[in-house]
Amino acid sequence: MFILVGVTGGIAAYKSVHLVRLLVQQGHDVHVIPTDDSLRFIGLTTWEAISRNPVTTSVHDDVARVRHVTLGQSADLVIVAPATANTLAAMAAGLASDLLGTTLLATTAPVVVAPAMHTEMWRHPATTDNVATLRERGVLVVGPADGPLTGGDSGPGRMSEPDDIVAAALAAVSGGPLSGLRVAVSTGGTREPLDPVRFLGNRSSGRQGAELALDAARRGATVTLVAASVDAGVLDAVAAHPRATIENVETAAQLGEAMGRAAASADVVVMVAAVADYRAASVSERKLRKEDGPLESIALVPNDDILAGLAAARRPGQTVVGFAAETADDDLLERARRKRERKGVDLLVVNEVGWDTGFGAGGNTVAVIGAEGAVVAEATGSKAAVAGAVWDAIAAARGIR
């Protein structure tokens, strides 16, 4: 592979000598692009000797070959290690003030950054925002690790070890452990209309399903996310991912149809959406008015159980995963076990909901029930962390390591 290694001005640059060496030893064609500032730490001669390729820092060298564009265009992979707070800010802003900046704008290859800085700088809201922006654009952020820093202090900010950066970067190119897998995920809460302006709905934010879709895409899967009503901004990162497609729906019936289509070619089906169990028996064509007389009841009819239907119709080798939102009480797990059997799914992820937990909340606590009702995974944390644990359980159930 043609690999570019950007080296920016931090003391961790010395570790990148080993990183370049590892890549060269594995047979890759490695081109180092140091920033001027980084040359105070490691000189040009070292990079040329280790990479076995000429090294320059300037857009004005080799102008005839338009070096700042050709390097970026030729790259199969770009690694920036160490990535200083300044470099992350420049990348987020799209600055092209040196050869590394222009190259990063010219490339369509996967970009991996290994941040290195003091803890205070890493935790500064500006850095947090810049890292979030880069992640949304698909940049893979490796580390930083938690440990002793150069100033004698300790905390998150240490550049990850070169072996870890190389492993993560090569996995990013090969597409990750779920590469080739087709995944269908549903999320959000359905809205069942009563008249043109009113509906029966629920409090689902769609966040957990969006995190599941995003995590699968980042692990290499091709993802269809069928989204009923979700909170603002929840789908942004999924929409930005090149391996994810979003289909927006409103009612349970529409969600069922869209999931049916997506499931027809999916290897894994995950139903996270909060689907209304009932819809209005009849939907008024015009707005219901008070002058029509008092509305004392609304006649409801049951919706199909989409998950049970998908499980019954599953393709050979397909894994079907359901979610169950249960309010906490003594037999939460027992009820979840019965629900898994009743719906005929491979895995049931049970999460506790209440007035201030589960729906809409930032974090989640889940248990994953597998064959014979065994608890195969448990996780508590952010919805992103829970999504990771659920995919670990799905991958384990499919024998993916």
Q: Is 141 one of the binding residues for ligand CTP (CB under 6 A)?
A: no
Q: Is 368 one of the binding residues for ligand CTP (CB under 6 A)?
A: no
Residue found by looking up tokens 């947090």 in the block: 128
Considering only the stretches 166-174, 213-221, 270-278, 370-378, report the one whose residues sit in contact with ligand CTP under the rule CB under 6 A: 270-278
Shortest Å, Cβ 348 to ligand CTP: 8
Among positions 88, 134, 325, 377, the unique one binding ligand CTP when judged by CB under 6 A:
325
> Which of 221/269 has CB closer to ligand CTP?
269
Site mask for ligand CTP (CB under 6 A), range 245-264, x = bound:
-------x------------
Q: Are 14 and 38 in contact (CB under 8 A)?
A: no
Q: Is 305 one of the binding residues for ligand CTP (CB under 6 A)?
A: yes
Shortest Å, Cβ 322 to ligand CTP: 4
**What residue numbers does the annotated binding site for CTP cover?**
277, 287, 323, 339, 343
Q: Are 53 and 197 in contact (CB under 8 A)?
A: no
- Distance, CA of 131 to CA of 139 (rounded, Å): 9
Among positions 82, 115, 322, 358, the unique one binding ligand CTP when judged by CB under 6 A:
322
Q: Is 323 one of the binding residues for ligand CTP (CB under 6 A)?
A: yes
Considering only the stretches 40-48, 74-82, 215-223, 316-324, report the one whose residues sit in contact with ligand CTP under the rule CB under 6 A: 316-324
**H or E element in which residue 43 lies:** none
202 catalytically annotated: yes
Closest Cα to residue 366, out of 347, 384, 386, 382?
A: 386
Considering only the stretches 98-106, 159-167, 272-280, 288-296, report the one whose residues sit in contact with ligand CTP under the rule CB under 6 A: 272-280
Among positions 277, 376, 381, 382, the unique one binding ligand CTP when judged by CB under 6 A:
277
Q: Is 280 one of the binding residues for ligand CTP (CB under 6 A)?
A: no
Q: Is 268 one of the binding residues for ligand CTP (CB under 6 A)?
A: no
> Which of 214/324 has CB closer to ligand CTP?
324
Q: Are 365 and 327 in contact (CB under 8 A)?
A: no
Beta bridge partners of 326: 352
- Distance, CA of 337 to CA of 322 (rounded, Å): 12
Q: Are 82 and 115 in contact (CB under 8 A)?
A: yes
Q: Is 205 one of the binding residues for ligand CTP (CB under 6 A)?
A: no
Q: Is 367 one of the binding residues for ligand CTP (CB under 6 A)?
A: no
Marked catalytic residue, from 53, 86, 130, 202: 202
Q: Are 115 and 122 in contact (CB under 8 A)?
A: yes
- Distance, CA of 24 to CA of 184 (rounded, Å): 39
Q: Is 271 one of the binding residues for ligand CTP (CB under 6 A)?
A: yes
Among positions 324, 366, 379, 393, the unique one binding ligand CTP when judged by CB under 6 A:
324
Closest Cα to residue 42, out of 26, 62, 19?
A: 19
The answer, yes or no, to whether the previous bond of 144 is cis (omega within 30 of 0) is yes
> Which of 164/277 has CB closer to ligand CTP?
277
Among positions 273, 311, 389, 397, the unique one binding ligand CTP when judged by CB under 6 A:
273
- Distance, CA of 142 to CA of 169 (rounded, Å): 9
Q: Are 182 and 398 in contact (CB under 8 A)?
A: no
Q: Are 390 and 383 in contact (CB under 8 A)?
A: no
User: Where do the H-state alpha helices sit in 37-161?
Assistant: 44-51, 67-74, 85-93, 99-106, 119-123, 125-136
Tokens of 285: 């064509």
Which residues lie near ligand CTP (CB under 6 A)? 252, 271, 273, 275, 277, 303, 305-307, 322-325
Which amino acids are annotated catalytic? 202
